Amino acid sequence: MMNIKLKGERIYLAALEREHCKIINQDWEYDFKNITESLDIYSFDSLETTIEKSDEWFEDIKKRQGNGLVTLGVFLSDGNVIGYVRLQGIDWRNKACAVGMTIAKIENRNKGYGKEALSLILDYAFMHLGLERVGASTSENNTSARKSLLSAGFILEGQHRKAVYCAGKKYDKCYYSILAEEYIKNNYNEGEI
């Protein structure tokens, strides 16, 4: 596993342990006002299944970490895990990847933790891994994710019309990206790099 710790003002990112994966799965809550597809998180009805799938998820992270994937837990400053963020599909040749993130409990959403986690992982992607492009996608009804992406400097590249089916409705899937030079221009003063 990767032994890194990225510190922010109110949160930090660090490697997930098996117990953290279980906590994220047990804490996961749907926000029925803002239903979106869940691509990476395992969510199940019974505790036994959750624990079993949490173990599988942890083993998958351990196996793939650093090999096209960087998954880090989102921790409050007190050490409690509240979610995860990941760089996925890392294409080293083209220096590009996608970012995904989950904050498990509704009570921890819309507090800026996701925005801070996104900023930390982007800094890691561009300034430490040398990536040049990070993409992201979400459904149009995920207004929180869309606001976070735009706030972080992502640009809407396009939409696949009526591509996501959620709660009996069809929504557009929105595709975003940010380039290293855009991130650096927005987050560093000239001469800081």
Residue with tokens 């959750």: 50
Residue with tokens 């975003």: 176
Residue 174 is inside which H or E element, if any? strand 169-179
Residue 1's pLDDT is 52
Q: For residue 192, is it within any domain?
A: no
Share of the chain above pLDDT 90, in %: 69
The range of the structural domain enclosing residue 37 comes to 5-187
Q: For residue 68, is it within any domain?
A: yes
Q: For residue 85, is it within any domain?
A: yes
Residue 48's pLDDT is 43
Residue 50's pLDDT is 62
- The one-character DSSP state at 107 is G
Residue 190's pLDDT is 73
**Closest alpha carbon to 136 in 112, 151, 167:** 151
Residue 38's pLDDT is 40
β-bridge partners, 135: 98, 177
What pTM value is reported for the model?
0.86
Q: For residue 132, is it within any domain?
A: yes
Number of compact structural domains in the chain = 1
Q: For residue 193, is it within any domain?
A: no
Residue 85's pLDDT is 97
Q: In the chain, which stretches have pLDDT less than 70?
A: 1-2, 31-51, 191, 193
Tokens of 16: 């997930």
Sequence-ordered alpha helix ranges (H) in 104-187? 113-123, 143-151, 180-187
Q: For residue 20, is it within any domain?
A: yes
pLDDT tens digits, residue range 20-32? Answer: 999 999 998 876 5
Kindly report the CATH number assigned to the domain that includes residue 69.
Answer: 3.40.630.30
Q: To 10 degrees, the CA torsion angle through 82, 130, 89, 137?
A: 60
